[in-house]
Amino acid sequence: MCLHSSAAEGGSVLCGIAGFTQRSCVLSSNHISSAVRSLIHRGPDQQGVYESQDVSLGAVRLKIIDLVDGDQPMISEDGDVVLVFNGEIYNYKELRTELIARGCRFLTSSDTEVVLHAFREWDTGCFRRFRGMFALGIWENSQKRLVLARDRVGIKPLFFYRAGHDILFGSEIKAIFEHPAAHRKINIDALNCFLSLNYVPGPHTMVDGIEKLRPGHVLEWVDGRTQVTSYWRPVDGSSRKWNLEDAKQELESLLRQSVREHLIADVPLGIWASGGLDSSTIIHYAAESGAHIKTFSITFKGRSFDETPYIHEVSRRYGTEHSEFDLNTGVDLSADRAVRLLLG
């Protein structure tokens, strides 16, 4: 998976957002500041808060695009719209050109400001135009409206909690816990799912009352009323008749375009190399673009599942600058040893 800088979540850019509406419960500034501090590991480069009598918003930023400007929360020139944003919009340059043609004036070169202007221009319709990964919160002062949105397939996390007439949200559950109305109670049904499936299906979480915003969905909060709607569905391509050669060419074109867009950054780039098909394919197209590639791996030398030889083969083939960390600690990882540890 592609990485930017040295921090990643699921192979993607890390930043963090949090926010609380204040219809029923007026907070001190300590609560949103505490929520921001709980996310500091996601954004060591810049932190900020926005507070009004209606809402508190916070953001932490790992700078990838526009290292000088683009601080968050970002506020429109007239003060009406406030944005906190986690992610990256790969087609932001094209959208920026279109928005300038429609009369928008930009003060930064960041994709965050493109998101802000796009919302002002197209409202929630802007999310269908974004090609990228994102979780965001937008406060519109004139309408007293909070909008939360998540990318099409849910690369970026976004959790929310309905506290009476208010909405609390964050990139991680721990940020929501900084609000005094958030209760810490285990969701037994979610726990059962985790023990049987090894994951918790959305929109549920392990905490009762805290939900994941579904991928491709928008949550709108106005004066205590909440509505969640879908803005995107997978396209049914079954009506198109493919032959093998056309399918191969289409796949290669999409992979090449996707990797090229992921390489857009104002900081050094790296790729997480596992020795498998997906990361090796990404390295191939990144090398094809002429980018200087740094690769990183965690290895398990001496274990049956170790893929170090494949990692090294790919690194040599494409001439990457490779670094790895061996996680072989000498601990007995056999199945019966694991069971004994679990059972005490």
CA nearest neighbour of 103 among 122, 83, 117, 123: 117
Is 15 catalytic? The answer is yes
Report the alpha-carbon distance of residue 315 to residue 131 in Å, rounded. Answer: 29
Is the distance from CB of 37 to CB of 13 less than 8 angstroms?
no
For residue 137, count other CB atoms closer than 10 A to its CB: 29
3-state secondary structure the chain: CEEECCECECCECCCEEEEEECCCCCCCHHHHHHHHHHCHHHCECEEEEEECCCEEEEEEECCCCCCCCCCCCEECCCCCEEEEEEEEECCHHHHHHHHHHCCCCCCCCCHHHHHHHHHHHHHHHHHHHCCEEEEEEEEECCCCEEEEEECCCCCCCCEEEEECCEEEEECCHHHHCCCCCCCCCECHHHHHHHHHHCCCCCCCCCECCEEECCCCEEEEEECCEEEEEECCCCCCCCCCCCCHHHHHHHHHHHHHHHHHHHCCCCCCEEEECCCCHHHHHHHHHHHHCCCCCEEEEEECCCCCCCCHHHHHHHHHHHCCEEEEEECCCCCCCCHHHHHHHHHC
Is the distance from CB of 121 to CB of 99 less than 8 angstroms?
yes
Exactly one of 15, 25, 104, 126 is catalytic; name it: 15
CA nearest neighbour of 51 among 81, 77, 25, 19: 19
Q: Which residues are identified as catalytic?
A: 15
